[in-house]
Structure 1
C-alpha cells in the first residue's frame, strides 16, 4: 500500500490555505463583536437642547432623570400634557455643577449609569488586520522559504512535491502506446519497487537514476506516471524550473525536502521534468560556484549519492536536450541509465490514435489508419492535437460525428495553418497555379519521388499553396537517388515559372533554401560527390548551450571550401535542368493540370492523374486514400 507523505514535526500541521483564511475571518469577527456589541436601548428618546431640557426641569414636568457620562435622559410626568415622553440632551463637556441641585430642588428621581470602559480590542484590531495581511503576503511571495505551514515542507511540498490525489485516475503501461522499447527498459524497475528485498538478498543494485530522453511530446512524463502506477507507489513530480528562485539557497532547500519526503514514503518515485533547466553544464553562469542554479545542481548530485543500497527510491528525469547536461549527472551511480523515447512509427501512431480516440465519436474508425500512415514525424502530442482539432471542427458544424472531412481539415490546419482569405490578383493566381503544377508534374513523373496525395492553391498559414506528397513507408536512411529526386521536385516550381511564364518570382524562396540545405548535407556530411569523397566538411555547428553557430576545431581550407560550393552549385543546377526537361516532355499535360488547378483550387490524386496521364487506368496511389496523408509539403510562399 502507498505510504502517506512524511511530515516533519518541526514543520507544523500541513494545513491548506483555505483553513488559514477561515481562522483569520473567525478571529476578526470575534474582535468586532466584542468591541462594538452593546445592548440596545429600549427607550425612544427625543433629542433636545440642554437649555430646553433644564426648562422642563424648572417647570416641574420631569419625573425622573438618568445621568450618563456625556448625556442626560429625562422622563416627563404622566399627568403632563405630553406625559410619558422621553427626552435626551448632551451635557456640556466640563459638566454643569448646578444640574444636580436643580434636579433635587424639583423632586426629580435621579439615577446614574456607570461610565463604560473602551475595550482594548478596539485598539488591537487595526494591528491584527495589518499583521494578518503582512503574513499572508509573505506566504504568497516567498513560496515557502522557511519551515512551518508556509514554508518549504508545509507550503511547497504539500502542493508541487506531493503524490497525486488518491481519487485521480491511475496511469499504467496500457495508457502508453508506441514506446514498447522504453517500457521494456523500465519494466524491471517495477519489480524492484514492488519487492526491493528480493533484489537486496542477492546483492543486486537497481539504478536509482534513470534519464528519459526524447523529443517533446513523445510521452516522457506519461511513462514516468505509468511506472508509478504499475508499481503502485507514491509519485513525487516537479519541474527543474521550480527549483530556481530569486532567493539564494531556496533551490537547494527544495531539493533536500523533496528527497526527504521521497525517502520517508519509500518505495517511491521522484520525477524531475525538464532537467536541462537546472542541470546544464556548470561554469557557464555569471555567478560561478555561487550561482543559484549551480547550487541547486550540486544539491541534486549530493542527494543522488546519498541513497543507500536498501532505499527503494527511483529518480526519473526527463529532457530533450541531453547534450547540455553536466557530465557529473550522467556518470555511473547517478543518471547512469538512459532510456530513449523516439518518435512513433506507423503502427505505434495507430495505437496512440486508438488511445486518444476512445471518447471521440468517429464516423469510421478506419480513418485512423489513414491518419497514422501519413504522419511520420508526428509525436504523440501532435496526434492528440490533430484529433482535438478534428473534434473542434465537427463541433463548429454542430455535428454529432467526426467525419473524414473533419480529420482532413484538422490535418491541414496542424501541418500548414488555418485558411487565409487573401485578395490574390489574377496574374498572381495563375503564377501560383503554374508553380504548384510544376511541383506536381515533376513529382508524378519522377520514379523515386514519394507518391502524390493532392495539390492546392488555397493559402494556409505562411504558404500560398502546397503540393502534398506521402511516403511509401518509414525511412530510416536516405539514399542518394531519393535525395536528388527531392531536390528536383523542390526546384520544379521555379523551373515551371521559367518555362511557362518566361520569368521567375520570389515564390521559390523556401524551395531554394530547402534544396540548398539538402545539397549541402549531401556534399559536406554524407560524402555523396565523386570530387570530394567521404569527408566531413562541416564548418559550423549549433552550440548546445549558447544556441548559435561556432567554428569547428578542424578548419577547412579556402580551396576545399570553394570545391564544396562548386559541388553544391552543380548539384542544384543539374537538378533544375532535369526538372525543366521533365516539364518539356510533358508540357501539354502540365498545361492541362494548370488549367484544372486554377478552376478547382484543389485536386486529389485521381484528378491529377487524369490530367497528367489520361490514357492510364485511373488508380489510387500506392497508398490508398484510406491509408495516406500529405507529408512532406512543398509550400509556395
Structure 2
C-alpha cells in the first residue's frame, strides 16, 4: 500500500487543536518523489542502462565505467529530489485540501466537485500536475475535460477542468456540455483556474461542493519544500519580510545549484533581497522634497502600515488605503511610491495599465489585473503602485465596438479596488498624467477616494533634489541654489538626468564633476541674463514684494532670478471672499514691478506686458472683471462674462479700467518712492544671490515695519478713498 493510501486510511489530516497537520503534505511529496523515481528509470533505460544497474553505457569507455560504478554505489542511499516548484504547490494544495474535512477521502471514494483558485495563471500547470498525481485513486484514469470528449467518460475516470484564464475559452459559458456529461457519469471533478468564478464552466461552479484557494507558503511549508529537494530540513529560517515575497518561480532558480538545506535558504535570500528594494538603501519619503500634500499623506500612511505590521492597528482603522497621484510627467510619482514603501518598510508591487493591455486577448488583460492584485495580497502589507491609470477608459466616453471590451476591464478593476476588506494591508497608489480621463467610479469612497496633485518643484525643492542626486560626497561645499535657479520649471526627473550626464562628462574627461558641468547640462546653450538685464529684473521683482507687503496682499513666499527672467512668488487665498480694497491692492502689487523700474532706472521695460501671463495682462483682466463680473465697478451690481468685443462695445468701460489701473499704479509709485531704500536693499540682495527665501525677504522688509503706524494707516485710508 502506498504512503498516500496509508495516510488516507489512518488520518483525517487535522490535529486535535484544529490546526491542519502536514501529514497529507508529506504524503503528496512522497508521491511526487516516487513519480520522479519512475521518470529517472525511464530516462536511464533510454540512454542504455537501468537505475540500479552497474553496467556501463559504453563498455569500451573506461571513464564511463568509473562514473557508472560511482553512480551505482551512491544510488542505494541517494535522495530523489522533487522539482522545487512542484514541491511547493504540493504543500500548498495538500494544506488546502486538508482544511476541507474529509475531502481527500471523497476524491478517492466518491464523486465530489471541487474548484481550486490558483489566483495566478503561473500556478495552473503545476497544480494540474500535483492534482493528477495525488488527488485521485492510483488506478483512476485522469482526463482534462477542457480538451476531452464527454462520451468517452466512465466510472474509471477522474476529471480535471484546467483553464489558465488567458485564452478565448476562459469564460463561464464554455465547457458546460462536457461538465454535464461528467456529472452524469458521477466521477470526481476538479476545476483549476486563477479565478474559477469567471473562468470555469458555469455548471461546474454551480455544482462545486468545495471551493479551495491555495494558501501562501509559511516557514513550515518552505522547510518541507527544501526537504523534498535536498533530503533534509534546514536549521535556519528566512526573514519574514522576505518570506512573503516568495514566488514559486523563485524556488527552482534558487535551489538549482544547492545541495544542503541551509544553502537553499541562503540562495533564496539572495534572490529575494534583490527584489526587496524596501529592505535596502535608498531615500525614504521624509528626506525627499517637492511632494507637498502628497508627502504628508504618505508619511501618515507609512506610520499606519508600520503600526499595522506590529499589530498595534487594525486594518479597519487605517484610513490611508488608496491614493490617486496626478501631475505632469517627471514630477516623481513613481519615486514617491518607492520612497513610501521604504518609509513603511513594506514591499512595492509595481505595475501599469500598459502592462495589463499587452495581452492579445481580453482574457489576458483581465488575468493580468487579477494576478497583480493577488501578488499584492500575498505580499501584504505592501504598496500596490499602478502607473498610467488613465489608460483605463472612462466608461461614459467609450463608444462603438469597444464598449463591451473596456466595460469588462473597468468593472473588474473597480471590483478588486473596492474589495478592501479582502486585501488587508494592501495600500493602492495609482498615478496619472490626466486625472480628467479617469472613470469617476474609481474615485468614489472606498476606492481611490483621495486625489493629490504633485506640482513641479519650486526653487527650494529643486535645490534639495540636486543635493539628493549629487549625494553628500560630490561637490559637498557647492551651493545647489544656482543650479535650481537655472533649472526653473524642470522636474525631479530632469534633475536626475542633468546630474547623470554631468557625471558622464567628468568621467570621460578623467576629472571630478564641477558646477559648470551641471550648468552646461541645464542651460543646453542658453546664456545667463546680462548684468544690466539681471539688475532690472531684480528691481522689478523687489517692487512686487515691497508693495504686496505694505498693502498686505498675500505673503511673499520667495523671489527668484532665472535664465530668462524672474519671479515674485506670492501666496494668497482665492476663496471668493475678496473685497474691492483687496482687489485694488492686488492691482497695485501687479503694477509695482514696472513702477519700480521707472523709479530706479528712468523707464519701464516691455517685459511687463509681454504675453497673456504678463503683469499688465493680468492687471487688465482683473480691472475688467471688477467692472463686468464682480459687480464692484461703475456699472454697479452686474455680471457679464466678458469677451474681447465688450471692451469696445460697452460705453465707458475702457476709461473706467484705465482710471482704475492708473490709480493703482500711482499708489504703488508712492509706496516705492517712500520706501526706496528698502526696494534697493531687496534688489541688491536678489541680484547677488539669485534667490531670496520668505525669511530673507521678511528680514529686509523690517524697514517697512519700523515706519510709524500712522504712515501705514495712511496708505490704507488712501486705498479706500480712491474707490
Q: TM-score, length-normalised on structure 1?
A: 0.48
Q: TM-score, length-normalised on structure 2?
A: 0.43
Which structure has the bigger radius of gyration?
Answer: 1
Q: Which has the higher contact order (CA 8 A, sep 6+)?
A: 1
Higher helix share: 2
